[in-house]
Structure 1
Amino acid sequence: MTTPGPTTAEQPWPVRTVTRKIADWISRLGAVWVEGQITQISARPGTSTAFIVLRDPTADVSINLTCATNLVRSMEPPLTEGSRVVVHGKPSFYAGRGTLSLRVDEIRAMGIGELLARIERLRKLLAAEGLFDPRRKRPLPFLPGTIGLVTGRASAAERDVLTNARGRWPAARFRVVNVAVQGVSAVPQVITALGTLDADPEVDVIIVARGGGSVEDLLPFSDEALCRAVAACRTPVISAIGHEPDTPLLDHVADLRCSTPTDAGKRVVPDVAEETQRIGQLRDRARRALRGWVDRECRLLDALRSRPALADPHSPLRRRAEDVEALRERGRRAVRASLGTEEAALSGIRARLTTLGPAATLARGYAVVQGVAQDGGTSVLRSVADAPPGTRLRVRLVDGAVRAVVSDDDTQGERR
């Protein structure tokens, strides 16, 4: 059979050629082991082929399986929708309907031990990446404005969270997003709900709540994709999954782990009665502290008022006035004594000056003879040579002065 050439709009391939080529290419693929969760089983009596839909637990992806009906019926325990399995098969393409399926020749149910082992390996991986580090956990707001709640529709977990939270704080506001909390659609729905609430600026904290259940029922809350989605949330997340003994991986990644949904309702908001009592206690403490401070200040004022400076403020002023007056009197006496001493010294000097002065000499009968110049100036004569005949003289006596003229006769004088 010849191989058709390249296709063009004028020379297209028929459908049978395309499906044959796809089938030839897929038939060259080898067998693979695949893990997933069964979402649908169709094994009708009287048929030799069973049809199964296998879904990825963490993504909205599924694949059809075909196998012998006896293979399904021989499984112990029987396969049911929601079972986690590992299958071995080879991809095949059915050209008649153009569908791809996995032809399975072996199915292994995943037991609890194997599931727990896988969870433990994932726990170690996430811990090594630091997703469990207490330092990355964010503190919860004291009083959140809006609380996001991710839980099952009309579930006991939802009722417990709402009842306990509103019982403690009646004004608490919730934004509830109902999702599947078990089964194949639980993980994608919870991740979508987390993204919606995390993007809401009014939501201050998110609670992921579910009631108790078996290990298989709680498997979605140990899923790697869900754990990483919680770690990536900017809003603090509270995990309230199952009962006290239940510890899915979500508990380690969340910012706060609560043992039950009831515990989450109690811890997400404060108790209004306790806060009212605490406010009353703080008011009493503040009142006592204020009263104590006022009492201390009053005692201090009383002590200050009882001191002499404030009890009789005029007394210090009087004492200071008396001191000033005494100092002024001492100053007067000192000045007077100093003036008396200086006056006595001055009198002594005056007496000496009087005794030694020319007036005293004149009083004893002496006279001072001065020559009078033409311009009226005078000069004391100290020698007869200074008074030639005709010299005008001024003779100063004790009680006045007389004028004279020097004559030729030394024995006579002319009084003028």
Structure 2
Amino acid sequence: MSDPQPPTPRERPATAASTSAESPWPVRLLSLKMSEYISRMSPVWVEGQVVQLNARNASSLAFLTLRDTDVDMSLSVTIPKRTLLAMPAPPGEGDHVVVHAKPELWAKRGSLSLAARSIRAVGLGELLARIEQLRSVLAAEGLFAAERKRPLPFLPARVGLVCGRAAKAQDDVLVNARARWPEVLFEIREVAVQGGNCVPQVVAAIAELDADPRVDVIIVTRGGGSVEDLLPFSNETLVRAAAAAHTPIVSAIGHETDAPLLDLVADVRASTPTAAAKRVVPDVAGERAHIAAARTRMSALVRARIEREQSLLTSLRSRPVLTTPTVVVDRHADAVADLRRRLRGRLEHRLESASHQLDGTVATLRALSPQSTLARGYAVLHTHAGEVIRDPAQVATGASVHARLARGRLDLIVDGAAPARPSAAPEPTPPRRPVAVHTPRPTSETEEE
């Protein structure tokens, strides 16, 4: 019986894109591939802040942790001790440095680190120049514009406070604010106010307080310190986080001479933590004094107004029209009586003139009336058909005619007719007296008088 053959080793995919669930890479192979890939990278200059440094060990290497100043991310760095000893001033924890290092992956643990060949501290002048450049960029974006500043509430229900742990700045704000307004409430967030953890912790605290609907205003404060200690408050990430907040922010960083970029983007800048407390809450004693003074001024104004109105009322009551109210009526009553008298006289004159005119018209009508002619002895002859007889030729002998008299009528029979004599002149007709109709034209009151 032949011996069993050893298993043939399974072939692994050559590239990551060739792997599958049925043909995967083992962890050791992935680490080896990553290590080979990273080893082909060129050395790179990296900037960060030293947060841990261990140069006292038996090895020839010093170990340090380099943290990003904007986000909470760090890398381990190894550097020969002789390189640090050759520097005039070796860097310490908290310093900003740039290192020239080559990335390395420790395949056994899968951890990435940097093998530094040289290190250089970032000078203060260079840091300040970067801050000045950032200031120009943020100003061009309008983050420092006055129209973006929001007014502080007169009496905040709750004040958010971002400060250091057990810091004197915290006591300054709390003591002074409660001395001015004992009922004020605080929502406190203690954070790192310098070093590598400062920026992420302050940004997180501002975001948390800004999301709290009970908080009406946020104070970000810390005491004085060196320029390097205050650098986190000029960090771009922190400044933009403050600009994006919807709650008004008061910046109280350092002393009067300190001017981090947070002061420029904040809604209110306070020179000290004590000044911030005074800006945020009103002084209860001062407000009560203002109220008392306002009440005194209001009382004086009301009294002066009452006295002025009382004087005006007394003056009005002393006028003759109010002391003897009928004086105005009496004066107008005499005028009305005079007008009535004059109107009555004009009316009587008009009636008398119209009566005389009517009598004359009646007399004229009577004189011209046919009845008056008949009353003088004349008669009007007319045929049986009613035709008025003006010529004897209109009727024949023996015809019956009617004679209309002043009183009554006669029925006559024509016995004979004689024509009018040619020489005889017709009886003159008495001339008619013209009837004059007088229409009075309207006249003014002055003409009637």
User: 329-338 or 310-319: which moved more?
Assistant: 310-319
Residue 196 of structure 2: aligned partner: 184
Residue 65 of structure 1: aligned partner: 77
User: What's the offset of the Cα at 1:8?
Assistant: 6.0
**CA distance in 2 between partners of 1:363 and 1:24 (Å):** 165
Change (3 A) 1:101 1:403: closer
SS at match of 1:216: helix
**CA distance in 2 between partners of 1:126 and 1:358 (Å):** 125
User: Structure 1 vs Structure 2: percent identity of aligned residues?
Assistant: 50
Q: Say whether the 8 Å CA contact 2:62–2:79 is kept in structure 1.
A: yes
2:261 pairs, out of 249, 252, 260, with 249
**CA distance in 2 between partners of 1:44 and 1:130 (Å):** 49
Aligned-partner residue type, residue 234 of structure 1: H
Aligned-partner residue type, residue 240 of structure 1: A
Q: Say whether the 8 Å CA contact 1:50–1:68 is kept in structure 2.
A: yes
**CA distance in 1 between partners of 2:363 and 2:208 (Å):** 124
Tell me whether 1:340 sits opposite 2:336 in the alignment.
no
Residue 42 of structure 1: aligned partner: 54
Change (3 A) 1:372 1:138: same
SS at match of 2:229: coil
Q: Say whether the 8 Å CA contact 1:29–1:91 is kept in structure 2.
A: yes
Equivalences for 1:7-406 in 2 at 5 Å? Answer: 13=25, 16-352=28-364, 366-368=377-379, 391=400, 396=405, 406=413
Q: What per-residue deviation string (whole Å, max 9, x for no partner) do you get for residues 10-54 of structure 1?
A: 665555544333222222111112121122222334322222111
Q: Say whether the 8 Å CA contact 2:401–2:414 is kept in structure 1.
A: no
Residue 414 of structure 1: aligned partner: none
Change (3 A) 1:328 1:230: same
Q: Say whether the 8 Å CA contact 1:123–1:249 is kept in structure 2.
A: yes
Q: Say whether the 8 Å CA contact 2:106–2:112 is kept in structure 1.
A: yes
User: What's the offset of the Cα at 1:227?
Assistant: 0.9
Q: Say whether the 8 Å CA contact 1:222–1:249 is kept in structure 2.
A: yes
SS at match of 1:203: coil
How many residues end up aligned between the 2 structures?
402
Q: What per-residue deviation string (whole Å, max 9, x for no partner) do you get for residues 80-110 of structure 1?
A: 3222222222112233443321111222223
- TM-score of the superposed pair, with normalisation by structure 2: 0.78
Q: What per-residue deviation string (whole Å, max 9, x for no partner) do you get for residues 155-214 of structure 1?
A: 111111122222222222221111111111111000001111111222222110101111
Q: Say whether the 8 Å CA contact 1:207–1:237 is kept in structure 2.
A: yes
User: 132-141 or 197-206: which moved more?
Assistant: 132-141
**CA distance in 1 between partners of 2:254 and 2:404 (Å):** 148
User: 383-392 or 143-152: which moved more?
Assistant: 383-392
User: 81-90 or 211-220: which moved more?
Assistant: 81-90
SS at match of 2:246: coil
- TM-score of the superposed pair, with normalisation by structure 1: 0.84
Change (3 A) 1:72 1:359: closer
Change (3 A) 1:210 1:406: same
SS at match of 1:217: helix
Q: Say whether the 8 Å CA contact 1:208–1:239 is kept in structure 2.
A: yes
**CA distance in 2 between partners of 1:175 and 1:235 (Å):** 14
Change (3 A) 1:186 1:406: same
**CA distance in 2 between partners of 1:88 and 1:242 (Å):** 34
Change (3 A) 1:73 1:347: same
Change (3 A) 1:352 1:387: farther
Aligned-partner residue type, residue 97 of structure 2: V
Q: What per-residue deviation string (whole Å, max 9, x for no partner) do you get for residues 256-289 of structure 1?
A: 1110011000011222222223233333333344
Aligned-partner residue type, residue 322 of structure 1: D
User: 155-164 or 306-315: which moved more?
Assistant: 306-315
Structure 1 spans left out of the alignment, 5+ residues: 411-416
Structure 2 spans left out of the alignment, 5+ residues: 1-10, 418-449
**CA distance in 1 between partners of 2:298 and 2:315 (Å):** 26
SS at match of 2:228: coil
Change (3 A) 1:352 1:245: closer
User: What's the offset of the Cα at 1:242?
Assistant: 0.7
SS at match of 1:161: helix
Residue 431 of structure 2: aligned partner: none
User: What's the offset of the Cα at 1:403?
Assistant: 5.2
**CA distance in 1 between partners of 2:361 and 2:200 (Å):** 128
Aligned-partner residue type, residue 276 of structure 1: R
User: 400-409 or 327-336: which moved more?
Assistant: 400-409
